[in-house]
Amino acid sequence: MDNVKHGDDNLSAILVIFGGTGDLTHRKLMPALYNLVLDQLLPEQFAIVSVGRRTKTDEEYRNEIYASIDKHSRNKINETIWRKLQNMIHYYEFDFTNLEGYVGLKTFLEEIDEKAYTKGNRLFYLAVAPEYFETIVQGLQISDMTKQQGSFSRLIIEKPFGKDLITARKLNNKLLEVFEENSIYRIDHYLGKEMIQNIMVLRFCNSIFEAIWNNRFIDNIQISLTEKLGVGTRGGYYEHSGAMRDMVQNHIMQILSMVAMEPPVNLRTESIRTEKQKVIEAIEEITPEFLRDNVVFGQYGKGVIDGTPVTSYREEGNVPENSSTETFVALKLHINNFRWAGTPFYIRTGKRLGRSSAEIVVQFKELPNILYFEKHEVQEPNLLVLRIQPQVGVFFQFNTKDFNTHHDIVPTKMDTSAISPNQGNTPEAYERLIYDILRGDATLFSRWDEVEAAWTVADKMIRYREQKKFQFPNYDAGSMGPIKAFELLAKDGRKWWNV
Ligand code: BG6
């Protein structure tokens, strides 16, 4: 991708952040904006208007932002860079549920526009709880803030996009009344992660991988997004979300589609999104038998993480003591197309597990065990692991003869993540995503039909969990999930890899 350096005034815009005093703005957006200024990727003519309910001066707000950048940025604060960013930031006090107030905001933005030469371009970032999306979009609509001749106007929203297929459709229809589909940027921050973007390069720039990336050579693929963290202060949100809506419907479906998609005809946004969408469409039908045999739900009980005792999910703040919300999901599914028929995809995600990591493990089929079986009844399979976090890079396992014993066969492990020069300092996903929004590149954002297809799959599983009473809690904090998640693979003669 071309880097557009400072001063490219085609990117001039006002970024309007609804939820300017919220967690997302402090922890992710502002540190990302700081690093974009540092890397000279923001144009000179750029302004940030943070909308918040509380009364504060620009100076007070900027001081708070300084402290957050200091805490969360991947780079230490350089005062010259900070001054540049600081001059771009404005605080606007406004209760965004008050529809009459949008006219005032419009006038404020017009004033900033004149001073900052931002050409009427607007990015509206809804860093607020999803129940406010429709209200804000309506406010933008009635104040006629989104359609300026010769300027762009883009909407940025964070998941969850609805709470099921029906509400997602309703929300989407509302958004489409005001914004074109290609001006809506649905953030899935996993797509901004370095290794997720690397999936396409690894697959489509290496003949040794792409030639065997199919059901003839791959035994199974595992996608694991596991966290040691519990729900913390987000109990109120999580209780209505659960792991299915929080992780599977979005992040995992997106990763699955990148891993399994056909090569796009070119690198244009729509070509890539179309191939991703087809993968989700090809997921096998979710029948009652599928739900019974292939889905495991879990909820954490109390336990110990890194030597510290932690409470059960039901004891977390804003969680009812008889909660039936899942904090863990394991799934086995098939993608019914020519490339993947017969190769299972195993998926697992959960909170309060014994390990925090995000990985994709590709297990290749074994060769006939004819030649070396006497001494080595079990040979390790070839494994390709795409390490998304905390390590970033690729791990590959293959068999070689042991130098020392002269006869043993040993698995050799190549791990580029250990030597990655970027390790520990990969650009924050939000930097990449904000920069792409500014350039109008929607490749790393979800298109509506992808979201819709993912809801179609997830909805059936969520309804099953809601209707069937599971015995929760069913795993200890600090373990790797319920026993049934291990049995899911064991009954196929497989296991979760942890390499
Ligand atoms: C978010 C979920 O989308 O992703 C959180 O709402 C989860 O519950 C987080 O913890 C995980 O993201 P990351 O980047 O920390 O792996």
**Structural tokens at position 296:** 């495991």
Which residue is closest in CA terms to ligand 1's atom 8? 246
User: Does 262 have pLDDT greater than 90?
Assistant: yes
Cα–Cα distances (Å) from 45 to 7, 15, 34, 42, 108, in that order, read 7, 11, 15, 8, 16
455-464 per-position pLDDT tens digit: 999 999 999 9
Distance of CA 384 to the CA centre of its chain: 21
User: Does 373 have pLDDT greater than 80?
Assistant: no
Residues 10, 2: Cα–Cα separation, whole Å:
14
pLDDT-derived band of residue 340, with 50, 70 and 90 as boundaries? Answer: very high
Our answer to whether residue 251 is catalytic in this structure is yes
The one-letter code for the residue type at 69 is: I
**Beta pairing partners, 154:** 123
pLDDT-derived band of residue 194, with 50, 70 and 90 as boundaries? Answer: confident
Q: With a threshold of 0.85, does the pTM exceed it?
A: yes
Section 458-478 average pLDDT: 95
User: Does 401 have pLDDT greater than 90?
Assistant: no
pLDDT-derived band of residue 279, with 50, 70 and 90 as boundaries? Answer: very high
Section 439-451 average pLDDT: 94
**Structural tokens at position 200:** 């396409």
pLDDT value at residue 145: 92
Residues 69, 433: Cα–Cα separation, whole Å:
18
Give percent above pLDDT 90 in the chain: 83
User: Does 375 have pLDDT greater than 70?
Assistant: no
Tell me 445's DSSP state: B
User: Does 107 have pLDDT greater than 70?
Assistant: yes
User: Does 181 have pLDDT greater than 90?
Assistant: yes
Q: Tell whether ligand 1 has an atom less than 6 A from the beta carbon of residue 359.
A: no
User: Does 376 have pLDDT greater than 70?
Assistant: no
* Ligand 1 centroid – CA 164 distance (Å): 19
Give percent above pLDDT 70 in the chain: 95
pLDDT-derived band of residue 130, with 50, 70 and 90 as boundaries? Answer: confident
Residues 304, 299: Cα–Cα separation, whole Å:
15
**Structural tokens at position 347:** 């998926």
Section 201-207 average pLDDT: 96
pLDDT value at residue 378: 67
Query: How many beta carbons lie within 10 A of that of residue 289, not counting itself?
Result: 9
Q: Lowest mean pLDDT: which of 81-90, 144-153, 311-320, 369-378?
A: 369-378
User: Does 105 have pLDDT greater than 90?
Assistant: yes
The rounded radius of gyration (Å) of the Cα atoms in the chain is 24
How many contiguous H segments (helices) and E segments (strands) does the chain have? Answer: 17, 17
Q: Which of 480, 175, 259, 176 is nearest to 356 (CA)?
A: 480
Residues 134, 449: Cα–Cα separation, whole Å:
19
Distance of CA 104 to the CA centre of its chain: 35
Please answer whether residues 226 and 480 qualify as being in contact, where contact means their C-beta atoms are separated by less than 8 angstroms.
Answer: yes
User: Does 2 have pLDDT greater than 60?
Assistant: no
pLDDT-derived band of residue 427, with 50, 70 and 90 as boundaries? Answer: low
pLDDT-derived band of residue 5, with 50, 70 and 90 as boundaries? Answer: very low
**Beta pairing partners, 17:** 50, 125
Which phi and psi (to 5°) does residue 21 adopt?
-105, 5
* Ligand 1 centroid – CA 385 distance (Å): 21
Strands 393-401 and 383-389: antiparallel
Q: Which residue has the tokens 């690894």?
A: 202
Which phi and psi (to 5°) does residue 241 adopt?
-110, -60
Q: Which residue has the tokens 């939000």?
A: 430
Tell me 171's DSSP state: H
How many residues in total does the chain contain? 499
Q: Lowest mean pLDDT: which of 2-6, 46-50, 276-280, 439-443?
A: 2-6
Sheet holding 308-310, edge to edge: 308-310, 300-305, 475-477
Q: Lowest mean pLDDT: which of 42-46, 101-105, 422-426, 428-432?
A: 422-426
- Judged on CB neighbours under 10 Å (0-12, 13-18, 19+), 319 is buried
- Judged on CB neighbours under 10 Å (0-12, 13-18, 19+), 124 is buried
User: Does 419 have pLDDT greater than 60?
Assistant: no
**Structural tokens at position 50:** 């943070």
137-175 per-position pLDDT tens digit: 999 999 999 977 789 999 999 988 989 999 999 999 999
Please answer whether residues 235 and 318 qualify as being in contact, where contact means their C-beta atoms are separated by less than 8 angstroms.
Answer: yes
The answer for residues whose C-beta is within 8 angstroms of residue 392's C-beta and 6 or more apart is 194, 195, 417, 420, 422, 423, 426
pLDDT-derived band of residue 426, with 50, 70 and 90 as boundaries? Answer: low
DSSP alpha helix (H) spans, 229-368: 235-239, 242-243, 253-260, 269-281, 288-294
Position in ligand 1 atom list of the atom nearest CA 159: 3
pLDDT value at residue 122: 96
User: Does 45 have pLDDT greater than 70?
Assistant: yes
Q: Which of 26, 90, 189, 251 is catalytic?
A: 251
The overall average pLDDT reported for the chain is 92
- Give the mutation target among 158, 246, 300 for probing the ligand 1 site: most ligand atoms within 8 A of CB: 246
pLDDT-derived band of residue 43, with 50, 70 and 90 as boundaries? Answer: very high
pLDDT value at residue 4: 41
pLDDT value at residue 34: 97
What are the respective helix, strand and coil percentages of the chain, to the nearest 5? Answer: 40, 20, 40
Q: Tell whether ligand 1 has an atom less than 6 A from the beta carbon of residue 246.
A: yes
**Structural tokens at position 375:** 């001494």
* Ligand 1 centroid – CA 229 distance (Å): 10
∠ CA 35-38-42, rounded to 5°: 85
Q: Tell whether ligand 1 has an atom less than 6 A from the beta carbon of residue 227.
A: yes
Peptide bond into 130 cis (omega under 30): no
Residue predicted with more confidence, 279 or 72:
279
* Ligand 1 centroid – CA 2 distance (Å): 29
* Ligand 1 centroid – CA 238 distance (Å): 11
Strands 295-298 and 475-477: unpaired
Residue predicted with more confidence, 401 or 78:
78
Please answer whether residues 397 and 411 qualify as being in contact, where contact means their C-beta atoms are separated by less than 8 angstroms.
Answer: yes
pLDDT-derived band of residue 3, with 50, 70 and 90 as boundaries? Answer: very low
Residues 450, 44: Cα–Cα separation, whole Å:
35
Section 355-375 average pLDDT: 86
Section 44-65 average pLDDT: 97
